[in-house]
Copies of this chain bind each other. A is one copy, B any other.
């Protein structure tokens, strides 16, 4: 079928390719031309503006943040161009407030809106093994489910209100930031006691913390390998900020999230925003005067 796709970054590009491989006709747009041309060589049809891809009855978007989504979907007219009955699947990690606003705007125009933020790094996206947190009206979800199955290993349903999937995603990313920040503090602590953080990380990731997040980020911390970034520290700050804002809107204090935010901001202030989130460990080490 004809599918629109906005946003061909580190995550979007492999996802779009998987839809191409599954035999669909892809209509793609990306702000910068490079990724657009790469997809064109793989067989996608490319366009100059977001609204052009509304030619397809189902449009996916995988954009960087609230501003990019607002720009493409509202300012540049994707939503205006989509016909009633179309479905827009927004896979970005956006704020709960924007998700709620978009859901209402789409509904007012008779366009289906599905929130489907994802868990997984670029290699997982390429393998089509993402975990998808999905919320939206049942009929809209039903229409796109076969496509979601192309992109992910599993769909986790979180009800009919799209913003709830985004709330879940923010909670996941808060847990992620907390795990990384905790390993960072613990690494400074063991280093302070004359031990190698790598030995400590190996211990916990082989035993009680033997999970992908700890093994992946723990390995980066152990090797102090913060570049290239799989998930940028600055994006981690953005997500924790969104979690705090969503928590405030529902009157839920989150002091661990606040502490993480301050650490992430300190990382950005020292020029490490483009490094991997694992570079949060540098903040703990600096505070201890270890470098």
Q: Which residues of A contact B (CB under 8 A)?
A: 96, 119, 131, 133, 156, 158-159, 161, 163-164, 167-168, 170-172, 174-176, 178-179, 181-183, 185-186, 188-195, 199-200, 203-204, 207-214, 241, 243, 246-248, 250-263, 265-266, 268-271, 284, 287-290
Are A156's CB and B203's CB within 8 A?
yes
- Considering the complex of A and B, which 6 residue pairs feature the smallest CB-CB distances, nearest first? A211-B211, A192-B250, A251-B269, A258-B258, A269-B289, A167-B193
State whether B190 touches A168 (Cβ < 8 A).
yes
Q: Which residues of B contact A96 (CB under 8 A)?
A: 193
CA distance A288 to B50 in the complex (A): 38
- Asked if A203 and B259 sit within 8 Å, CB to CB, the answer is no
Contact B288 A253 (CB under 8 A): yes
Q: Which residue of B has the minimal Cβ distance to A172?
A: B204
Contact of A172 (CB < 8 Å), options: B203, B253, B262, B263: B203
| A interface majority secondary structure | helix
| Interchain CA distance A69-B64 in the complex, whole Å | 30
A170 — nearest CB in chain B belongs to which residue? Answer: B189
A252 to B253, CA, bound (A): 18
- Asked whether B246 lies within 8 Å of A189 as measured between CB atoms, the reply is yes
State whether B212 touches A212 (Cβ < 8 A).
no
B257 touches A185 (CB 8 A): yes
